Structure 1
Amino acid sequence: MSQFSMEPDNISTTRTILTHSPVVSGPWRDAWRAFQHNKMALIGLSVIVFFVIIALIAPWIAPFEYKEQNLVSRLQPPSAEHWFGTDDLGRDLLSRTLYGARISLWVGFLSVICSMIVGTALGLIAGFYGKWADMIISRLFDILLAFPGILLAIAIVAILGPSLENALYAIAIVNVPTYGRLVRSKVLSVKTEEYITSARALGANNARIILRYILPNSLTPIIVQGTLGIGTAIIEAAALGFLGLGAQPPEPEWGKMLSDSRQYIQNGPWTVIFPGISIMLTVLGFNLMGDGLRDVLDPRAKH
């Protein structure tokens, strides 16, 4: 009987423990909780999500085909039919701006991913192996950094030929040293830690040490820089498009739209306002989110 009489107490104790159990914690969960308390970072994330959704559903929400011309309706101001007005060829600016989000975000994300992969690989090799490998890779980075980024991108596109794909390659190449040097400096500090020495003592080879221990502990600055780098890549793509070295007609890239409309600023200011605002908001969103990630993931950045 005593055994049965204790059961309710055990059940209530178990319920109390479950009710007051601590919140599951972890570095990434803690970072997300801290990120949620940063209002500006959340605003940046909201802006990015908005433009990503717009880019994904552009074919379904665009009122007109982005390359459909109607010379009778050229340079029409914003109206009920054309919310953003029309350009010099009578094309609907709202539709072109929506499709432009697809191009700008595609270039931004893909160029940064390529830069991160190549730069991270070179930085890991330079920082971990050192000696001649570090010397060659570091000199390569120094050569690339000796030129202003946009001028080097212009030179690369001029050699490869004007196109959106070549502009993407140029932007990726220009930004490789940024990630490479960042990873190299992180590897130089991480590889002297005691757990790396312990891994060597246990017989772990270099590849396992790099992939299992060094790379995961070097991801924080890469993630922060990558987020900020997307905004920079979008600006660089817009600059190349403005110069006629990026997307080619009739592709509705925001920088190219600004270039095509610059002679109509007085007669049709809406032709430059909406693409310009789109570039500004997208880059601002990535910068705000990147600053928030830096505050959350980098303890030295916390005030």
Structure 2
Amino acid sequence: MSQPTIHATSPSNVPAKEASGPWRDAWRAFRKNKTAMLGLGIILFFVMIALLAPWIAPYDYKEQELVNRLKPPSAQHWLGTDDLGRDLFSRLIYGARISLWVGFFSVIGSMIAGTILGVLAGFYGKWIDMLISRMFDILLAFPSILLAIAIVAILGPSLQNALYAIAIVNIPTYGRLVRAKVLSLRTEEYITAARAIGMKDSRILITHILPNSLTPIIVQGTLGIAHAIIEAAALGFLGLGAQPPDPEWGKILSDSRQFIQKAPWTVIFPGLSIMLTVLGFNLIGDGLRDVLDPRMKK
């Protein structure tokens, strides 16, 4: 009686299983979102030109040529010149550095402060929660841009003070978001078990609470960068942000508003730069929300 033939499968013929994990799976899902990848491409473009500004810019952004003032776009000046004869293309490239710098670091500052306050309020509750929540309510009682203007007016007009003001007015946004998340997490069974085995509060916060609170912070932080860039442009437009000759996009718009009919390119190109950057961060934020928020998953 013949024995059945057993065919051994070569390991090389077995398809390798792709590594899995929460962040890897999120990245794979994010890559499938075409609008989110478009936003990522826009932001990477502006980040690259900001980093490579000294090598890309054809002129010094501070160089004035009054004989070439308000020249339209040409082969010599791709995006034209402003009222002082400065190359607008070079100023917009260096302006990307300022706007992205303000957006990133103001959001990082407000995220850190808001997360700390939100965790303390949500985890410990009682009078700590009441005190921090009332502070958030006071800050939220004022329109953010008006509060930012008041802070800069007190500290003095400068780009650094504008960054501080934007960070301060956005602290309640992250604080309340984290507080709500912590309130829901502290009643979970694994938190109760951690307390039962004698785990210290500090270790519970670092090991369990913070990692599980990252998702809404990341999504809100991405959207917050776009909002911070708009606020920085608004403060610059009012003369409370970057000071001359720094080429911040809002300041460029402010300096060019009187030439909107005579030289519209001086307003159109910085306005487009702000719009595209904000659009890019909003697309990324929406994509991250769809990927990381369980309620958005099908």
Please, which runs of 5 or more residues in structure 1 have no aligned partner?
1-7
> Structure 1 CA distance, aligned partners of 2:110 and 2:206?
19
Residue-by-residue CA offset, 1:190-236 (whole Å, 9 max, x unaligned)? 11111111111222100000010000000000000000000000000
> Could you tell me which residue of structure 1 aligns to residue 34 of structure 2?
39
1:173-188 correspondence to structure 2 within 5 Å: 173-188=168-183
Q: Supply the distance in 2 between the matched residues of 1:299 and 1:212 (Cα, whole angstroms).
A: 21
1:290 maps to which residue? 285
Work out the CA distance in 1 between the residues paired with 2:57 and 2:272. 18
Note the alpha carbon deviations across 1:227-275, whole angstroms, 9 max, x for none: 0000000000000000000000000000000000000001100001110
Q: Aligned equivalents of 2:150 and 2:297: distance in 1?
A: 39
Whether 1:132 aligns to 2:132 is no
AA aligned opposite 1:97? L
Is 1:97 paired with 2:75? no
Aligned residues: 293
Scaled by the length of structure 2, the TM-score of the pair is 0.96
Which string of whole-angstrom CA distances, capped at 9 and with x for unpartnered residues, describes residues 43-95 of structure 1?
Answer: 00000000000100001110000000000000000000000000000000000
Cα distance, 1:13 vs. partner?
A: 4.8
Between the aligned partners of 1:101 and 1:287, the Cα distance in structure 2 is 17
State the AA in 2 paired with 1:116.
M
User: Which residue matches 1:141?
Assistant: 136
- 1:196 corresponds to which of 191, 194, 212: 191
1:87-236 to 2 correspondences below 5 Å: 87-236=82-231
Moved more, 141-150 or 189-198: 189-198
Q: Please, what is the CA RMSD of the aligned residues?
A: 1.2
- C-alpha separation in 2, matches of 1:286 and 1:27: 22
Residue 280 of structure 1: aligned partner: 275
CA–CA distance in structure 1, aligned partners of residues 10 and 236 of structure 2: 67
Q: Distance in 2 between matches of 1:241 and 1:15?
A: 61
Match of 2:66 in 1: 71
State the Cα distance separating 1:135 from its structure 2 match: 0.4
Whole-angstrom distance in 2 between the partners of 1:20 and 1:103: 48
Q: Which has the higher helix share?
A: 1
Letter in 2 for 1:146: A
Aligned-partner Cα distance in 2 for 1:140–1:59: 43
Identity over aligned pairs, percent: 76
**What is the CA–CA distance in structure 2 between the aligned matches of 1:257 and 1:154, rounded to whole Å?**
19
Q: What CA distance in whole angstroms lies between the structure 2 residues aligned with 1:57 and 1:132?
A: 50
Quick one: which of 271, 278, 285 aligns to 2:266? 271
Q: 3-state DSSP class of the match of 1:215?
A: helix
- Secondary structure (helix, strand or coil) at the match of 2:256 reads helix
1:83 matched residue in structure 2:
78
1:27 and 2:29 correspond: no
Unaligned runs of 5+ in 2: 1-5
Q: Which amino acid aligns with 1:174?
A: V
Aligned to 1:4: none
Please state whether the residue corresponding to 1:118 is helix, strand or coil: helix
Could you tell me how far apart the structure 1 residues matched to 2:56 and 2:12 are? 51
Q: Which amino acid aligns with 1:188?
A: L
What are the Cα deviations for residues 71-124 of structure 1, in whole angstroms up to 9, with x where unaligned?
000000000000000000000000000000000000000000000000000000
